[in-house]
Structure 1
C-alpha cells in the first residue's frame, strides 16, 4: 500500500524514528514541556509518544513479516499500541507519580519545623539551614525573621517561607527567644 506515493513501510519507519527522537528530547527537556502535560492531562506527552512508537513499530514489523492487508495491520497495530500504552500507564507511570509525591515536600510544609544553621546568618543577611526529613537532608537558604544575627550551629524554628528563603528565629530548649519579652512563647 502507498500513501501519497510513499510505501506504508517507509511511513511506519519514519514515524518510529520521529517518535523515538521526540521521546529522547522529552526525556532531556521534559521540564519545559511539563506545563503542556498539566494543561492537557488526558493527552500526556509520554503516553502520546509511546502510542506513536508502539503503533509504528508494530505496524512496520507486521508489514515486513506478514502478508495481511495494510488496513488490517493498522487495526492490529492500533490495538497493540492501546494495550501497551494502557499497561505502561497503569503499571509504570501512575505508581511513579504517586511515589514522587510521597518523597517530595512543599515549602509551605517546612513552616514550624526545626533545623540547624550550617552557615551563620548575619544581620540583614542570609545563611543556610539544614532540616532532617524522612527522605534525607534538606538544605535551604535562610534569613532571620527579625533581621538579627544568628550563629552557625544554632537550632532555629522556621516561621515563614518567601521566594525560596526560610525566615527563622532561634529555637533552644523548647522555647522561642525573641528580643521583645511580650513575644516569648513556651512550646
Structure 2
C-alpha cells in the first residue's frame, strides 16, 4: 500500500496527463488518491506544490525509461530504434510533451523546469548515442549529432500530435519509422 503523498503525486500525474493543469482540481486529486483535503494540505502547500512534485516524478520516470534503451546493448541506430518503438499510449500523447501545451505550466518557470530538463536530457542522450555510433564507425562522421537528436525528439513529439489529431496511432508509427529509415540511411556498412 502506498503512502498518502505517493497516492497524491500519482493521482496528480494521471490527472495532469488527462486534463492538464487547469482541469486538475484539488478535489479531483483527492478523490482519485482517496485522500482528504487535510491530508493533501498536510503534505503539500497547495496545488502548485503538488503539481511540481507530480511533473518532476513524470519527468524522472520518462528519462529513466529512455535511458533503458539508450544504455542497452546494440548499435546506435538499434538503441534509438528501440526507444522510438517502445510501447506507448500514443493516443494519450506524451505525458511530458502534453504539458508544453498547458499555458499555466509554460508560464510558470518552476512547473516548466522539469519539462525543459526532460527534453534537454533526451536531446543530449540521443546526441551522445549518435556520437558514440560515429566513434565506433557505425554512422557517417559528417552527421550532425546535436541537430539529428533534436530532429528525433521533434519527430517523436510531432508523431503524438498527428496521432491524436487523426485518432489513430498510424501517423505516429509512420513518423517514427520514417526517422528510423533516415538514421539507417546514415549507417556505414
Provide TM-score, normalisation by structure 2: 0.30
The structure richer in strand per residue is 1
Q: Which has the higher helix share?
A: 2
Pair member with larger Rg: 1
Relative contact order (alpha carbons < 8 A, sep ≥ 6): 1 or 2 greater? Answer: 2
